[in-house]
Structure 1
Amino acid sequence: MNDLDPLSPNSADSQRRLMVALALAMALTFAYTYFFAPQGPPPGAGVADAGQVVAGTDAGTAAPTPGTGTAGTPPPAGTPGPEAAVADAAPAPPVRTLDFQRESAHYSFSTQGAGLVSAPLQGPKMREQGEVSIAEGYKLLFGGDVPPPPQMNLAQPVAGQPLPLAVSITGPSPLPADARYAVAETANPETGATFTARQGPWEVTKTLQWPREGFELLYTLQVKNTSAQPATGELQLHFNRAIDPNNEHAPSFFGGVGNLSYASCRVGEEEHKLAPEQSLPDADESRGPVHYFGIDQQYFLSALYPLGGPLPGRCDFVATTTARAVTASFPLTAAPGETVTLRFGGYFGPKDDDLLAAVPGPAVREAAGAAAAYNPELTRTIDYGMWAVIAKLLVSIMKFFHGLMGNWGVAIILLTVLVKTILLPLTHRSMVSMEAMKKLQPRVEELRKKYGDDRERLNMETMKVYQEAKVNPLGGCLPMLIQMPVWIALFTALRNSYDLYQEPFFGPVWRDLTYKDPTYILPLALGISMIITQRLQPQMGDPTQAKIMTWFVPILFTLTLLNYPAGLALYIFTNNILSIAQQYGLRKWLERREGGGGGGLPATATAGGKRK
């Protein structure tokens, strides 16, 4: 049998000898590498000391052997040696996360893009508006404990998208938003940080500074053209936020205040806000002088604004169920060696009217080296809509009462008393008119029996009776019609005013006047008080209509208000209690006047229908 036959015994012995030889070669190679070969990675690849990642070759590309050209041929004359190649390769800084603990917020930055990865606000009011179930509400009512909602985090990165505050440059020489940045060691890292990245002709330096207190920061961008040629592009600033659709609720006139987030940008005089299922603004509308941009939520704002005034540019929006994003783009042109500097003010905090009106604060102006800086009018993000005049007036009055009493629930009660007092002359005439109509009911019932088949004649004769008695049948509706704008404006204020957000009324249950009453005690008490109010009023029309007004309308109104803010239910309930007391007191006063011969009501009719 041939020794080369793979089935022969000699062939098997040859294979065994080959395997032994390979094993010995591997062992010798390992021993040489471990004991005799120089330690550390070869130049141009691997991990350098101090944890710095050194740039290696592109994937799929073979690195030439040091000291040789391609395929081992000598390099041409004038080709830099391996030492020069290592010197020219810029080491990529390691990815780091920097934490800055401040009184108002805790900021976390990543050097991968030099953007925010987390920014939870600090403090009891700086929380998300969490859901409280009925069971949890009654648990609180009887002294139990329910964990508070998490702190409001204004920087929640979107997977696969640039980090909030990241920068990119588009054009012939792009710089990606996830470029790796080096961190400059500052003398006092508690007051800010400086990041630097280099790619192509660009050297980008981002400096963030913030005062020790407050919610503002100074964001300085320095873009240097390090090449010998002019460079152009478009500088883009990114801000986005990841959204949990299970925890986001749109505001509704028939429900709660909501916590919807919008991708927002003010261009010219128009403020564009985009949420899911809303149409994007036209390209021309989103191009122009950019005043500010960011993420606008119900009671919180994350926004950047050009510190020197509006900059010509444009805004691009993204609004899905899981993300909101806005990108502000500005034209960029730099001559060889030129550095373009842009300064932005930032605000990351609650939409408090006083705080927003003071932006930029003295500390930011001082850091920017400007005696006076542009006011971006961030107060425009507090949108009261068409009820702005009344809503702002109500908030101002409640602030005054809160300053006296220290409780926003008591401030709402005092606001109710004030409005009731102002409307007292009108409601008094209305109640007097209703009591007079109650005494006219026997005559109206006789007319209904007499002209029941002739609707037109019945209405004409009924109005004639009212005119003779000088009674307005619609007078009872006028106070309620006047109260309606107050109710709507108060609801609008509760939905937009941070002053009332997360503010308690009484005990642990009603710990947020802008959230619904989880026990539904206030809406139910409101419904009962409304039924009592209707029972005190004269029953007009046929018995079926009377039952509808007495029972059906209050029940429907109560069901509608179940998910409304507790502050609104408190206002209406207090108003009903005051109305009941006023109606009862008026009735007793009129009875005493009639008993004493004063004749408090117009002499209209006897029970038999004849005038006195």
Structure 2
Amino acid sequence: MESQRSFLVIGLALVSFLLWQQWHVDYGPKPVEPAGTEQLESSPNEGVASAKPSNRTSEDVPVSTSQSTAQVPSADSASTRLISVSTDTLDLKIDLIGGDVVHADLKQFPVKQGSSQPYSLLRNNDQLYIAQSGLVGANGPDGSAQGRPRYSVTQESFKLEGDTLQVPMTWRNEAGIVVTKTFTFTRGNHNIDVTYSINNNTAQTANFQQYAQLKQVLAESDGNVFMPTYRGAAYSTEDERYDKYTFDDIEDKNLRETTPGGWVGMLEHYFVSAWVPPQDEVNKIYSRLIRNQYAIIGFTGEPINVASGESATLASQLYLGPKDQDELATIARGLDLTVDYGVLWWISQPLFKLLQFLHGLVGNWGLAIILITIIVKGIMYPLTKKQYESMAKLRNLAPKMQQLKERYGDDRQKMSQGMMDLYRKEKVNPMGGCFPLLLQMPIFLALYWVLMESVELRHAEFYLWITDLSVKDPFYVLPILTGASMYLLQKLQPNTISDPMQQKIMQWMPVMMSVFFLWFPAGLVLYWLISNVITLIQAKIIYASMEKRGIQTK
């Protein structure tokens, strides 16, 4: 089995699998929605908040058993309910009803390269995607039968001037309960601290329970067959550091998990929103489908009792930003795994660290890709050499194999025994050509996902016409060069295939793969091109070495 042909066949099989996946998403059977999805549960411990503020009891928040009277929000316009917050990393809109983050722009990430318009992660429009939070429980303002609370603020806009910014919002009821919900922002950070300071000025003990959730309209993945990215929910428990929960999963079954710590999130290709509850408490993670239209994933914390005249504080964190592994790893266990490298994450993460290091040396992600390809191919050179030598020895045995076929004819048992004896006599391992390739494939696939998933490559320039390594080559130069390199590799390696149909397939393989590469991100095609060029050089060196030792290569 020839090395390059094996890579081409595997590559074609991978692309075919991706095509089948995309067809299944677009045209495959859709899951039957379970009956009773729209019926709402009434337990405060399962509390979830409304998608859009309303003056009536929210369909998302269970009615509290509290006898206290909550402040009823006035029927005002949305403009008077929204406050703006601006930091060096985020532009937010917070709704005073409920204190939900209903809009979030990522200021350092333009929606398109060269655009002045920032990428909107959260939005309160037809493509609803918001971050909600509040207090339920017997005395929680969000659990009141009269609707979600309206908070009051001292100003309509806030701007980060120093290293931190606090945005306090206050709610009080007639009975004497005062809740201050505070958002704390830090310069250079996409992580937001959310705290509730509770003062119980009533004559009785009051009960509260924190909840937070992410809600968005059901949507298809924003990936395609050539960039199979994930869009949907995810969560973490003590047992599972990272587990995806797709929109189809939410439609089929409500998630119910109880775990120490944990987190919940909504994922896009390069960005993530996540609620992180107190990691030293036991939290309940849930999902929900509202009106067969909105997907929710969230958590509820431990309920607390606040005695008369006493106060208490509850806290959580909200992350709104890029899938920055270094930053996410410091926030919660497993949150960095939202940079989804799949089952080979344990290989991909060290490769990404190496890619980061190389970028720090050369200051260009394209050059870093070239360098990491050279390093990886260099490390795997002994395996490649062993593979080529083993295949050459097998080719040299072809005349003797033909003699065995003529001697034993259709007697498969004797033929197999004769082949084993021949391999033993000539000291040839029939799997010697395949085994090194199998060892290389996990590294190849791991690096593929590194280049696919890493937000650092988004809008990253290379040179000349390659201004964004995360999108296809606009002039298709790299795919054409990659196809040419495949063709040269085919010519370099002797053809041992006798079937005419298989010969034609292999001849057209570089053309077929080049067509697929037309839509691949330029960074991936650059990697494959450099890998092919290095393989050509290595093959020349290996063949020259074998011929000097008397091993026939043709």
Q: Quick check: TM above 0.5?
A: yes
Alignment correspondent of 2:433:
476
Alignment correspondent of 1:289:
260
Alignment correspondent of 2:123:
156
Alignment correspondent of 2:215:
240
Instruction: From the superposition, tell whether residues 509 and 414 of structure 1 become closer, same or farther in structure 2 (CA, over 3 Å).
Output: closer
1:564 shift after superposition:
4.6
The Cα RMSD (Å) is: 4.2
Cα distance in 2 for residues equivalent to 1:210 and 1:334: 27
1:284 shift after superposition:
8.9
Cα distance in 2 for residues equivalent to 1:486 and 1:603: 30
Opposite residue 575 of structure 1, the aligned amino acid is S
1:499 shift after superposition:
3.2
Matches within 5 A, 1:138-537: 151-157=118-124, 164-171=131-138, 174-175=143-144, 178-185=148-155, 190=160, 191-199=165-173, 201=175, 202-232=177-207, 234-242=209-217, 245=220, 248-249=221-222, 255-262=226-233, 264-270=234-240, 271=242, 273-278=244-249, 285-306=256-277, 309-318=279-288, 323-330=294-301, 331-359=303-331, 378-441=335-398, 468-509=425-466, 511-513=468-470, 515-517=471-473, 520-537=476-493
The reply on whether 1:122 has 2:96 as its aligned counterpart is no
Q: What SS class does the counterpart of residue 483 from structure 1 fall into? A: helix
Is this contact kept in 1: 2:72–2:150, CA < 8 A?
no
Cα distance in 1 for residues equivalent to 2:125 and 2:131: 9
Matches within 5 A, 1:570-589: 570-588=526-544
1:406 shift after superposition:
1.6
1:511 shift after superposition:
0.5
Q: Which moved more, 1:471-480 or 1:551-560?
A: 551-560
1:382 shift after superposition:
3.6
Cα distance in 2 for residues equivalent to 1:549 and 1:455: 29
1:575 shift after superposition:
1.9
Alignment correspondent of 1:97:
82
Alignment correspondent of 1:69:
none
Is this contact kept in 2: 1:162–1:238, CA < 8 A?
no
Alignment correspondent of 1:75:
none
1:352 shift after superposition:
1.3
Alignment correspondent of 1:551:
507
- The C-alpha deviation readout for 1:338-359, integer Å capped at 9, x for no partner, is 3332122333222212222344
- The C-alpha deviation readout for 1:232-270, integer Å capped at 9, x for no partner, is 35443343244654xx3358xx641415131x4434444
Instruction: From the superposition, tell whether residues 518 and 458 of structure 1 become closer, same or farther in structure 2 (CA, over 3 Å).
Output: farther
Gaps of 5+ in 2: 1-54, 56-70
Alignment correspondent of 1:76:
none
Higher Cα Rg, which structure: 1
- The C-alpha deviation readout for 1:387-439, integer Å capped at 9, x for no partner, is 12211121122122212222222222222222222222332233334445555
Opposite residue 372 of structure 2, the aligned amino acid is L
Q: What TM-score comes out, normalization by structure 2 length?
A: 0.71
Gaps of 5+ in 1: 1-55, 57-88, 131-145, 360-374, 594-599, 608-612
Cα distance in 1 for residues equivalent to 2:228 and 2:460: 14
Q: What SS class does the counterpart of residue 113 from structure 1 fall into? A: coil
- The C-alpha deviation readout for 1:202-240, integer Å capped at 9, x for no partner, is 432111221233222222212333433333354433432
- How many residue pairs align between the two structures? 472
Instruction: From the superposition, tell whether residues 545 and 420 of structure 1 become closer, same or farther in structure 2 (CA, over 3 Å).
Output: farther
Alignment correspondent of 2:21:
none
Cα distance in 2 for residues equivalent to 1:381 and 1:313: 20
Is this contact kept in 2: 1:113–1:167, CA < 8 A?
yes
Q: What TM-score comes out, normalization by structure 1 length?
A: 0.65
Q: What SS class does the counterpart of residue 321 from structure 2 fall into? A: strand
Cα distance in 1 for residues equivalent to 2:525 and 2:396: 33
Is this contact kept in 1: 2:358–2:368, CA < 8 A?
yes
Is this contact kept in 1: 2:73–2:148, CA < 8 A?
no
* Larger proportion of strand: 2
